[in-house]
Structure 1
Amino acid sequence: MTTDYLPSVYQQFLDRFPEVAEAQGNLARTIRERNPFDERTDRLIKLAVAVGAEAEGAVRSNVRKALQQGSSIDEVRAVALAAVTTCGFPTAVAALGWIEEVATAP
């Protein structure tokens, strides 16, 4: 996997704490292998959790990965729209803004 697209703060984390990054990566793989969802669905679920947590970095990361894994921008937006009735309008609107920024980035 190329790291060219990674935010600088994450790249710095990888450089400074490689053993932590490796352990986190192993945990993520173990969890992924344990769940019954295909990769695309798994990514949309992770996006939904990130939206609900109002975790901007995680939203942006999961949007990039969801689009790379074949989800459409409409599907990604639908995840954020679903947050209106569950997490609140401000949370959904913030997530939609982060989604659009990722989707329109060069």
Structure 2
Amino acid sequence: MQHKYLPEVYVRFLERFPDVAEAHGELARIVRERNSFDDRTDRLIKLAVAVGSEAEGAVRSNVRKALQHGATVEDVQAVALAAITTCGFPTAIAALGWIESVVLAPSDA
């Protein structure tokens, strides 16, 4: 099953390495179950880590997931703005651009 919002490189990864994808998913599930955060907070934390890492794909993915779990556009933008003083202005501006590309993307729904 292919979702339109999944990057093609990720879809190919799932197809070529299903066992690795399954193990990765299981690890993510175990880690998520060990924390005390609700899903919205968990996704905002993961977004912050992705922003700090300048990981464009992870930023885009976690923006989508944060919004699905009740975060607002203002919430995800606030994460990027918080990066100004810890990660630097260029990192924050890049993240705001990646966030905007997700928020402004046409919806299939």
User: Scaled by the length of structure 2, what TM-score is found?
Assistant: 0.94
- Equivalent in the alignment of 1:50: 50
**Pairs aligned (count):** 106
Alignment of 1:5-44 (within 5 A): 5-44=5-44
TM-score by length of 1: 0.97
Distance in 1 separating the partners of 2:82 and 2:34: 26
Letter in structure 1 aligned against 2:29 = R
Q: Equivalents in 2 of 1:98, 1:4: separation in Å?
A: 17
Give the gaps of 5 or more residues in structure 2: none
1:53-87 C-alpha deviation (Å, 9 max, x unpaired): 00000000000111111100000000000000000
Residue in structure 1 matched with residue 73 of structure 2 by the alignment: 73
Identity within the alignment, %? 75
Gaps of 5+ in 1: none
Say what the alpha-carbon RMSD is for the aligned residues: 1.2
Moved over 4 A (4+): none
